[in-house]
Amino acid sequence: DTGVSQDPRHKITKRGQNVTFRCDPISEHNRLYWYRQTLGQGPEFLTYFQNEAQLEKSRLLSDRFSAERPKGSFSTLEIQRTEQGDSAMYLCASSWGDGRASEQFFGPGTRLTVL
Amino acid sequence: GENVEQHPSTLSVQEGDSAVIKCTYSDSASNYFPWYKQELGKGPQLIIDIRSNVGEKKDQRIAVTLNKTAKHFSLHITETQPEDSAVYFCAASITSGSRLTFGEGTQLTVNP
């Protein structure tokens, strides 16, 4: 399969715990994006990388959230001290550069439930 | 920042009819407008996109129109089929590689 993959697909945690999600982009893609989607809403941008550099981070993103892409391939998104309001679907997308063929392709998402 | 509004929030049509979903955006710097289809439990799937240098684009039963002056764009699906039933999202961004701002989605139901 050559699409974007995410792991785990589902995560249930207790409030206050830390969680980490992984995203593997399409292999030739150099840009990787994280979005969050709550029920009944469109995806909301969190951050994105070009290779290993984090180019943009949403001002709405709490300091409890951190993302890395250390070797310019897979990425991890960590949420520290989870809150019930963090419950959402976390989506990863990837694209190639910023040219005409740089459409963003999404993975299946990780659904987080904070109890 | 960019704000995208999408209407209607729900749309029910009979199989074979056409469906139209409309979006407006606020940032005149936006130049890229994709449409995504999301089925239950899955990530959004790109179905068609349009860039600001064209006014219309068509791919089989799907077409998108863009009016940059009025800052609105629309998705048209003709000859709808039950498998078209899903949530559709419009989005806008400055370039295709930059952050996407999504609308709130339209739940399309195609009745057999």
A67: left (phi over 0), alpha (psi -120 to 50) or beta: beta
pLDDT of residue A99: 60
- Among partner residues A58, A98, A107, which is closest to B96 by beta-carbon distance? A98
State the DSSP H helix or E strand holding residue B9, giving kind and residue range, or none if neither.
Answer: none
Interface test with A, best of B39, B48, B96 (most A CBs within 10 A): B96
Interchain CB contact of B42 with A (< 8 Å): yes
pLDDT of residue A71: 87
pLDDT of residue A79: 97
Percent of chain B with pLDDT over 90: 88
Q: Measuring CA to CA, which residue among A64, A82, A72, A59 is closest to residue A23?
A: A72
What distance in Å separates residue B51's CA from the closest CA in chain A? Answer: 9
- Residues A1-17 pLDDT 10s: 579 999 999 999 999 99
- CB distance B28 to B21 below 8 Å: no
What mean pLDDT is reported for chain A?
93
Contacts of A4 in chain B (CB under 8 A): 43
Is B97–A109 a contact, with Cβ atoms under 8 angstroms apart? no
- Residues A52-82 pLDDT 10s: 999 999 987 889 999 999 988 999 999 999 9
Interchain CB contact of B29 with A (< 8 Å): no
Whether the per-residue pLDDT at B4 is higher than 80: the answer is yes
Distance CA A4, CA A24 (A): 6
Give the mean model confidence (pLDDT) for residues B81-105.
Answer: 94
Cβ-count burial of B43 within 10 angstroms (0-12 exposed, 13-18 middle, 19+ buried)?
buried
Is A104–B104 a contact, with Cβ atoms under 8 angstroms apart? no
pLDDT of residue A101: 61
